[in-house]
Amino acid sequence: MSEPLSECDGNEVFPEKKEECGLFGIFGDADAVQKTYFGLHSLQHRGQEAAGIASSDGEFIQCYKGMGNVSRVFRTGSGILEKLANSMAIGHVRYSTAGSSNVENSQPMLAEYSRGQVAVAHNGNLINAGLLRDEYEAYGSIFKCTSDTEIIVHLLAKPTHQTKPDPLGHVLNHLQGAYSLLFMFADHIAAARDPYGIKPLCIGRTEQGAYVVASESCAFDAIGAEYVREVEPGEIVRLDAKGLHSRFFVRRGDITPAHCIFEHVYFSKQNSLVFGENVHVLRKKLGRQLAREYPVEADVVIPVPDSGTSAAIGYAEQSGIPFDMGFVRSHYVGRTFIAPDQRLREMAVRLKLAVIKEVVAGKRIVVVDDSIVRGTTTRGKIRTLREAGATEIHMRVSCPPIRYPCYYGIDFPTKEELLANNRDLDEIKDFLEVDSVGYLSLEGLLSCAALPADHYCTACWSGKYRIPIDIALNKFTMEHYQMTMFEDFSAAHE
C-alpha cells in the first residue's frame, strides 16, 4: 500500500477534538480496579481534566468517571473503588482542547448495543471523525457528546459490521488518524493500535500472571508488573480467561510506522519505555546533540522542569557547563501545556515554577526546555529570571521549531498562534527576550532515536503528514482507502 505524505498550510479546520490521554487495562486480577487506580495515577501526566474506570464481573460492566484528576474523582473514603471491584477493568485519564471539557466527553465511554455492553477508552484523534459522524447522523444516529470515541461505538453497533468475520477489525479499518484503544466487553478486554502506531500502547504482566495494557510502561512500575512488549501497529490484542491472543486487522509490513516522536520530547514520563526506548536516556541524547549544534559560553545550565530536565543534563554533560536547578517546581500544579486555555496556562506557570535566585543571580544562564509552542509562558519564565538577576539568558530547545498544527491528538494551536510560524531565530529571540536561542535540528533529533528516521511522525516540525489530513474532506478517497486496506488484508488471509 502506498503511503503518501500530505502537506498543508496549517489553517485547515477540523471539527474533531484532539485528545492526548492515558489508558490502562488489566484482566484476571482480584485487585484489578485498585491497580487500575494506581496505574492511572502514574499516567496522570497524560491528562488531568477527567478520569474514569470501568469494570466487569464477567456479565455486567459498571463505570464511574468524573472531572478532575484521579485522586479527586476517586477520592479516599468515597467507597467508589470498592463498589467497582472486579477482576477486570480499564481506565482513562483525559485532557482535551477547550470547548470539549465536560463530563459527557470523559471516558471510558459505556454503551449497550445488540451484542451487549461495551466500554471504550481512546487516546488519539480521528481525522475522519466529522465525516463518519455526518454519515451516521444522516441515517438517524443520535450522538450524546462531541468525542471521537462515540463514533467508534456507533460503528460497532452497525448491523452490517456485526456480520463480518472480525467485526472489531472491520470497524477499525474505517478509522483514520491516531488511535490507541481499549475495549472492554463483558468477558474480555481488547486493545488495539492504529496501523501507523502513532500513539504508544504496551503490554505488561503481573507477578500473579495477569496481563496489563497501558499507554506507558511507567504504569507497570506502579503496580509491580513486568514490561512484555508493545502492542504492534495494526494489532488487536485480546485478554480473556485463556490468556493473551493476537491478530492483525491490516497486513503486517505494508505500512511504515509513524510514531509520534513528541511523545519522547515532551509527553511521556522519564522512566517509561516508549517505542522501545527509555524516555530519559533519549532526552539526554537530545540535550547532548543540542549542545553540539548550539554551544555557548555560560556559567550554569538550568532546566525547565520536569520534561526539560533530562535534556538539560545531557547539555551540561556535553558542554562541560555545570548543571543546577534554577527553578523549583510545585508538584501540586499539573502540566501547563495541557491546561484547556491560555489564561489558565499562564496562571499555572506562575504557580508551578519559582526561581531560585541564588542559582541565577549574576550569572550567564543556559535555559533548556523540551519545546516551545506559543511562547508566551516561556517569555514569562525568562522575565522572572531577569528579575532574579541573571546577566545573560540563552534559550536552548531540545526539538525543532514547531511550525505546524497536529491533527493526530496533540493540542497544538492554529499555525498563526505558533511562535515559530513565520519567525526566524532572531525574531524568536526578540519575542522571548533572551540573548540567544537555539533549537535542535530535525536531523539531529532523529539521529538520537533508535528507530529509522522514517518510522517517526515529524509533521509538527516538517509539515509533512503521513496520514493525509485532507482525506477527511474527501469521502470518495476515504472510502477507497478503507476498502483497499481491508481487501488487501482479507486477500492475504483467505
User: Please, which pLDDT band fits residue 139 given cuts at 50, 70 and 90?
Assistant: confident
Judge whether 202 counts as a catalytic residue: no
Number of domains in the chain: 2
The DSSP 8-state label assigned to residue 391 in this structure reads S
- 476 and 416 in a single domain? The answer is no
Q: Any binding-site annotation on 307?
A: yes
Q: Any binding-site annotation on 341?
A: no
The mean per-residue pLDDT over the stretch 146-169 comes to 92
Q: Any binding-site annotation on 457?
A: yes
Gap between the Cα atoms of 491 and 494, Å rounded: 5
User: Please, which pLDDT band fits residue 479 given cuts at 50, 70 and 90?
Assistant: very low
Residue 155 within a domain? yes
pLDDT for 371 beyond 50: yes
Give the tens place of pLDDT for each residue, 64-97.
999 999 999 999 899 999 999 999 999 999 986 4
Residue 269 within a domain? no
The answer to whether the CB of 350 falls within 8 A of the CB of 379 is: no
Residue entry with cell 484528576? 69
Residue 266 within a domain? no
pLDDT for the residue 306: 86
Q: Any binding-site annotation on 424?
A: no
Q: Any binding-site annotation on 56?
A: no
- 446 and 327 in a single domain? The answer is yes
Residue 386 within a domain? yes
Give the tens place of pLDDT for each residue, 14-47.
333 445 799 999 999 999 999 999 999 999 999 9
Q: Which of 354, 360, 348, 369 is nearest to 428 (CA)?
A: 369
Q: Is 226 helix (H, G, I), strand (E, B) or coil?
A: strand
Instruction: State if pTM tops 0.75.
Output: yes
The mean per-residue pLDDT over the stretch 175-180 comes to 94
Catalytic residue among 8, 21, 145, 218: 21
Residue 138: give the domain boundaries.
6-258+471-492
Q: Domain holding 338: CATH number?
A: 3.40.50.2020
Query: What are the C-alpha distances in Å from 493 to residues 79, 166, 196, 251?
Result: 48, 12, 20, 9
Residue 72 within a domain? yes
Alpha carbons within 13 angstroms on the beta-carbon side of residue 477 total: 11
Give the tens place of pLDDT for each residue, 209-218.
999 999 999 9
- 416 and 447 in a single domain? The answer is yes
pLDDT for the residue 277: 96
User: Please, which pLDDT band fits residue 353 given cuts at 50, 70 and 90?
Assistant: confident
Residue 272 within a domain? no
Kindly write down the DSSP assignment for every residue of 316-346, as one continuous string: HHHH-PPB---EEE-TTS--GGGSSSHHHHH
- 285 and 426 in a single domain? The answer is yes
